[in-house]
Amino acid sequence: MTFASPADDEVAPDLFRVCFVCSGNICRSPMAEVVFRDLAEKAGIGHRIASSSAGTGDWHVGEPADRRTVAALHRRGYDGAMHRARQFDPEWFDELDLVVALDHSHKRILDHWAGTPDNQAKIALLMSFAPHHGDALDVPDPYYSDDAMFDSVLDLVERSCAGLVHQLEPALKHEHRR
């Protein structure tokens, strides 16, 4: 489920709300949003999750995802065509359960915007959910690269999102049975 802003999703207060954040919201974070949503659906928890994405900057607000992002997603069977970039609003912290930064620079900005320890505790790096990630916790920015780099970034996003879904699945399936 996608939503315009976390606060707009008043109809289902029991949803787990996650927002993926990169620089301009046209490459990495849209990939993560689309992949995460697809994997959550396949795991049977899609109805329990609301996912979105945003950028730390406002350079691309209103624009579609980068054509190379859409193409990389399409090659793997995902649809990123409907995405429109937006900038993260610090007021969203109150409505979100998890804010996923794509690299350390985004995490630093989000930590600053969080304002409170409770909000800072909601921030995680995407690669921290990848099994066997080692010391590599940043998803590289493919913007100034070629199609092959977008495919490599998508590999990292898929692995990390699978780890995140795997981590959330037991709790969300358990809560649903109550």
Domain that holds residue 164: 6-170
Asked whether residue 178 is domain-assigned, the answer is no
> pTM of this prediction?
0.91
Tell me, yes or no, if 22 is annotated catalytic.
Answer: yes
Asked whether residue 1 is domain-assigned, the answer is no
CATH code assigned at 104: 3.40.50.2300
- Which candidate in 22, 27, 38, 159 is catalytic? 22
Q: What is the pLDDT of residue 55?
A: 98
Q: What is the pLDDT of residue 175?
A: 59
Contact 45, 168 (CB under 8 A): yes
- Which candidate in 19, 27, 28, 66 is catalytic? 28
The total of structural domains in the chain comes to 1
Asked whether residue 27 is domain-assigned, the answer is yes
CA 81, 36, 98, 136 torsion: positive or negative? negative
Asked whether residue 68 is domain-assigned, the answer is yes
Q: What is the pLDDT of residue 131?
A: 87
Q: Which helix (H) or strand (E) holds 170?
A: helix 147-177
CA gap 37, 26 in Å, rounded: 17
Tell me, yes or no, if 68 is annotated catalytic.
Answer: no
Tell me, yes or no, if 67 is annotated catalytic.
Answer: no
Asked whether residue 176 is domain-assigned, the answer is no
Mind listing the pLDDT tens digit of every residue in the chain (178 residues)? Answer: 334 444 444 446 689 999 999 999 999 999 999 999 999 999 999 999 999 999 999 999 999 999 999 999 999 999 999 999 999 999 999 999 999 999 999 999 999 999 999 999 999 999 999 988 778 899 999 999 999 999 999 999 999 999 999 999 988 887 555 4
